[in-house]
Chains A and B, each alone.
Chain A
Amino acid sequence: MNSLLKKFKKDKISLIALIILIFMYLSILFAPFLSTYEKNYSNRELSYSPPVKIYTITPDNKLSKPYFYNLKREFDPHTLSITYNEVRDKKHYINFFTKGYEYKLFGLIKTNIHLIGTDNEGELHILGCDINGRDNFSRLLFGGRISLTIGFLALLISFPIGLIYGGISGYFGGIIDNILMRISEAIMSIPTFYLLIILAAILPSNMTSTQRFALITVILAFIGWAGFARVVRGMVLSIKTEDYVKAAKSIGQTDFKIILKHILPQTSSYVIIAIALSVPSFILAESGLSFLGLGIQQPDASWGNMLKEAQEFANIMYRPWLLTPGFLIFIAVLSFNIIGDTIRDVLDPKSKIGR
């Protein structure tokens, strides 16, 4: 642990990655405080409105408190085009630590204070709105809650399964090993993404969003464990020949306890590395599924399903701000990869991949 901290101090890039991730997780923790609108608040008048322009200098060249103008949709019957124009007759000032919608911070403290806000008539959409006129910025924060946590939850399911499965297989050997390994090979032989979409598609459609979230997590976990179990088994095969395992056996320790207490802890540094390196793949898998419309469903937000808008050609050409979730996924995954590499360098100094 100490050497890990030292490494972070020395390695500027992984320090930056760590800071970015801490910032991201703090943002989603304080999502209601930072958001300007509730995640399901929608204003149909502002469907696909662009980000508002924020001014700090007034037309007569004076410095001013930041302000913006509301946008108004205008339809041109001749060209059939929709444009958003600023309503210049009223300035709306941006206030800090101001009152907004009511929420419970951490689910406990009832408050209505937000980091930024505006007067009652202002429509402050920093990153514009989606097709339903929902605030993109706020949805990014709430969507991050799903996108950035689902990977860890899936890990909590898949790693224990992989550990115990690999442990049993390696420890008992023989016919049990043979059967268990053939099953895991078979699961690994189905192309991961094909398996994912099929599992997601057989979910019944009449589920609540919490149920759906839980099941998607389970599905993600289902694809990760097999490869992990095989590596654990390989390690257990060599660990079980150690003298202390034989000693434990000779004093009558049960097999199950030996696996759990004496063998599996020996794999811990590999497990930590594997966990650190597999969080990103879960995040990518979730975003891919939601992008296809098979993962997290509307009205819930996740970065993947917000990117679904990028499937519309008009959107990616004329509304590039809708691509923000893609960049956020990229940055999050990149940071996780960098930190995973750093952890591996420290725990497994022989590996040269990251150096």
Chain B
Amino acid sequence: MSIWIYIFKRIFQTIPILILVTIISFFLIRLSPVDPLAEMRLNPAISKQSIEHEIKRLGLDKPIYMQYFYWAKNFAKGDMGTTTTGESVALKIKERTLNTLLLSLNVLFWTWLIGIPVGIIAALNYRSTFDRMLTLFSSAGMAIPSFFFAVLMLIFAQKTGLFPIGGLTSANFYRLDLFHKILDIMHHLFLPTFVLTTLSLAGLSRQMRANLLDTLDSDYVKYAVAKGISKNRVILVHALRNAINPLVTMLGFEFAGLLSGAALTEYVFQYPGLGRLILEAVMKSDINLVMAGLVIGSVMLVLGNALSDILLRVVDPRVRGN
């Protein structure tokens, strides 16, 4: 089967899952006794007509399962409604999603860049001081609450003045030229990236180390060594590829964990991402925004999983066999 057919099939498979996700989210949110239009009604800037328009649009005068179809129809058309303050949800979500993606991909990049080599070195120097240090570090990294670590980093930023305290851009961002704009964003991204990378680095390097230890223990590696192939070649050509494959499957999970972990970090750093948006929306019971944020978050997760499956198929010929 060609890889393209597989990609098509895998993407196609995500559709029923996404529909189920929207059904679950919709009914969960509607379980709450909160009136979805309460905020709008209290806001004098919003006219009666627009409230009535919103009731019609959401089908609030119809039974709840009909409301779901109204919502789904609008959503499929790209109409996510307005927030309680009257902004377009779609625009807001788009901006925030891009920010979250920027942060998450950045973190993923650094985690892999650092985590894989560190895991390899630890496995090759099994039970050395470096290995023990890594075990210690990764246990600590997995135990520290993300928000607490973020708070500690904020203290650091404040005390040293090296990094901006929160946000994604400086106040004078729009007056900068392109080069300085990029520099400014990178400056702001550093601390959230650092926090999240440290936390996910722990898991990844540990996993890489365990996988490589496993493959080094397997018969084909021993055979290759016995045949007299140089140690470096055995490790680089034979062992490493098989050790990395399970990590590719984990990529999807890692992405999921990142989305969740990022929510708290975004909150502490006042980073304008999707997690913080949902949190604020939840606090204000802004139903349109919550619903859209939840679905977009799930879409990212499901696509992330699909992508890692596809990637695994590209790198691992054994999966292609069946």
Contacts and interface: CB of A to CB of B under 8 A. Distances in A.
Interface of A: 182-183, 185-195, 197-199, 201-202, 204, 280, 284, 287-288, 291-292, 294, 307, 310-311, 313, 316-317, 323, 326, 329-331, 333-334, 337-338, 341, 351-353, 355
A288 B143 contact: no
Contact of A194 (B31, B147, B154, B297): B297
Interface in B16-43: 16-18, 20-21, 24-25, 28-29, 31-34
Interface string B260-291: 11011001100000010011001101000010
Closest 3 CB pairs of A and B: A202-B32, A186-B20, A193-B260
14 contacts: A191-B260, A193-B261, A193-B263, A198-B29, A198-B294, A202-B31, A291-B264, A292-B264, A307-B147, A316-B155, A326-B148, A330-B145, A333-B142, A333-B143
Contacts of A284: 145
A337 to B, nearest CB: 6
Interface in B141-163: 142-148, 151-152, 154-155, 158-159
Given A193-B260, A337-B142, A288 B302 contact: no
A194 B143 contact: no
B207 to A, nearest CB: 7
B155 A317 contact: yes
State the main secondary structure of chain A at its contact with B.
helix
Contacts, number: 140
A337 B290 CA distance: 34
Contacts of B297: 190-191, 194
Contacts of B99: none
B279 A197 contact: yes
B290 to A, nearest CB: 6
Contacts of B21: 186, 189-190
Contacts of B268: 311
Contacts of B159: 317
B301 interface: yes
B250 interface: no
Nearest to A335: B143
Given A198-B290, A316-B155, A353-B206, A190 B25 contact: yes
Given A191-B260, A194-B278, A291 B147 contact: yes
Contact of B210 (A183, A188, A195, A351): A351
B284 to A, nearest CB: 10
B249 interface: no
A189 B302 contact: yes
Given A182-B16, A183-B20, A307-B148, A199 B28 contact: yes
Nearest to A329: B145
Contacts of B267: 292
Given A330-B143, A338-B139, A197 B278 contact: yes
Given A182-B20, A194-B275, 18 more contacts: A183-B20, A185-B17, A192-B260, A193-B259, A194-B260, A194-B278, A202-B31, A202-B32, A292-B267, A310-B148, A313-B158, A326-B148, A333-B145, A334-B139, A334-B140, A337-B143, A338-B139, A355-B213
B214 interface: yes
B293 interface: yes
Given A201-B285, A337-B139, A288 B145 contact: yes
A191 B273 CA distance: 14
B28 A202 contact: yes
Contact of B301 (A189, A310, A331): A189
Contacts of B214: 352
A201 B290 CA distance: 11
A351 B213 CA distance: 10
